[in-house]
Amino acid sequence: MRFGSVDELEGALRDADYLPDRGLATSIFLALEMRRPLLLEGEAGVGKTEVAKTLARLLGADLIRLQCYEGIDASQALYEWDYARQLLYARALQAGELDVRAHASELYGPDFLVERPLLKAIRSGDRAVLLIDELDRADDEFEAFLLEILSDYTVTVPEIGTIAADEPPAVVVTSNRTRELHDALKRRCLYHWIEFPDLEREVEIIRLRAPEVPLRLARSVAEAVSRLRELDLVKPPGAAEAIDWARALALLGAEEAAGPDALQTLGWAVKNRDDLRAVEAAGLGG
């Protein structure tokens, strides 16, 4: 599926309940058109991961997610041989087999290859959206290893050969900036920094994601959240927190994000004890 213009893509994202700003929509459009990975950075909860999920729905593609963590390596990200099965198969063959050669190549055939997310995405090609989530958590070596895959969309398995994608999958890479990613990797990606949404967009986002929340409450929550972001908090609430908080308030039947209901549900928006104290000191949320 292709989009003729940024406007068309923006409309489609809206229909899929995701409200991007113009910059994000443009970046996604360019990433799709230019077949380049899209590197998204921004505070937690601004909807980085959501971009990939929405994109998958929009393109009718599978979302293949690779959650990064420290020490992740090729056997968890790319492929691994199913050693236990290979061993059993080799044992089963023992009795009176003569044509060893044929079976040896069978042992390292596709039957025994365990696909991990990256290989799966390359094989699926444009039927997949590959989400490489929180790449900053992985170590440097892994980033270097990703370079080949992200620039050529090919994977080399020594026993089988090179597997290339006919049409590359759409790739979304996210980072929380716990460390700076390497420039070599950044060069291969389009880059977008997602800001917190402005007030109007946030109201719209809450309404879209939580339709049960009345407009007045949604607006009140969006206002309260934007005031919270102005405080000097360790973890300012993102759009995800705003949605959760609005939902919680709606369930309690509150009409606005103020008073005792707001105070009791504040934990949905502010999830750090020092921050809660700072909010109380500022006289907000109560």
Partner 1 sequence: MVDETRTLVEFARALRGQGLPAGTGATAEFCRAASLLEPTDLYWAGRATLVARREEIPTYDRVFREFFGAQLAPIPLPPPKPHVRLVTAGLDEGPEGDAGDASSPAVALASRVEILRRKSFDRCTREELDEIARLAAGFARALPRRHSRRRRPSTAGPLDLPRTLRRSLRTGGEPFDRRFRERRRAPRPLILLLDVSGSMADHSQALLVLAHSLRRIQPRTEVYCFGTRLTSATRALAVTDPDEALRRAAAQVVDWEGGTRIGESLKEFLDGTGHRGSARGAIVVVCSDGLDVGEPALLAEQMARLHRLAHRIVWLNPLKKDPAYEPLARGMEAALPYVDVFSSGHNLASLEEIALELSS
72 lies in the binding site for partner 1 (CB under 8 A): yes
Separation between Cα atoms, residue 177 and residue 47, nearest integer Å: 15
229 lies in the binding site for partner 1 (CB under 8 A): no
Specify whether the CB–CB gap between 123 and 57 falls below 8 A: no
CB nearer partner 1, residue 87 or residue 251: 87
30 lies in the binding site for partner 1 (CB under 8 A): yes
CB nearer partner 1, residue 94 or residue 99: 94
Binding partner 1 (rule: CB under 8 A), the pick from 11, 71, 109, 211 is 71
Rounded to the nearest angstrom, the gap between the alpha carbon of residue 15 and the centroid of all alpha carbons in its chain is: 19
Beta strands per DSSP E along the chain: 38-42, 62-67, 79-81, 113-115, 128-133, 154-157, 161-164, 170-175, 190-194
Q: Which of the stretches 76-84, 157-165, 200-208, 251-259 binds partner 1 when contact is defined by CB under 8 A?
A: 76-84
226 lies in the binding site for partner 1 (CB under 8 A): no
DSSP state, residue 125: G
Binding partner 1 (rule: CB under 8 A), the pick from 1, 15, 60, 70 is 70
Backbone angles phi, psi at 128, to 5 degrees: -135, 150
187 lies in the binding site for partner 1 (CB under 8 A): yes
The distance of closest approach from Cβ of residue 107 to partner 1 in the complex, given in angstroms and rounded to an integer, is 9
147 lies in the binding site for partner 1 (CB under 8 A): no
Considering all CA atoms of the chain, what is the largest pairwise distance in Å, rounded to the nearest integer?
A: 83
Binding partner 1 (rule: CB under 8 A), the pick from 8, 83, 111, 159 is 83
CB nearer partner 1, residue 42 or residue 249: 42
Report the alpha-carbon angle 96-98-104, nearest 5: 110
Nearest to 43 by CA among 266, 265, 228: 228
The distance of closest approach from Cβ of residue 280 to partner 1 in the complex, given in angstroms and rounded to an integer, is 15
Separation between Cα atoms, residue 198 and residue 192, nearest integer Å: 17
* Six-digit token string for 282: 């500022």
176 lies in the binding site for partner 1 (CB under 8 A): yes
Torsion on CA atoms 94, 95, 101, 107, rounded to nearest 10? -40
111 lies in the binding site for partner 1 (CB under 8 A): no
Separation between Cα atoms, residue 194 and residue 29, nearest integer Å: 15
Q: Which of the stretches 34-42, 122-130, 161-169, 208-216 binds partner 1 when contact is defined by CB under 8 A?
A: 34-42
CB nearer partner 1, residue 26 or residue 264: 26
- CA end-to-end span of the chain: 48
Instruction: Kindly list the residues in this chain that would bind partner 1 in the complex (CB under 8 A).
Output: 5-6, 22-23, 26-27, 29-31, 33-34, 36, 41, 69-73, 81, 83-84, 86-87, 90-91, 93-94, 136-137, 140, 176-180, 183, 186-187, 190-193, 195, 232, 234-235, 274
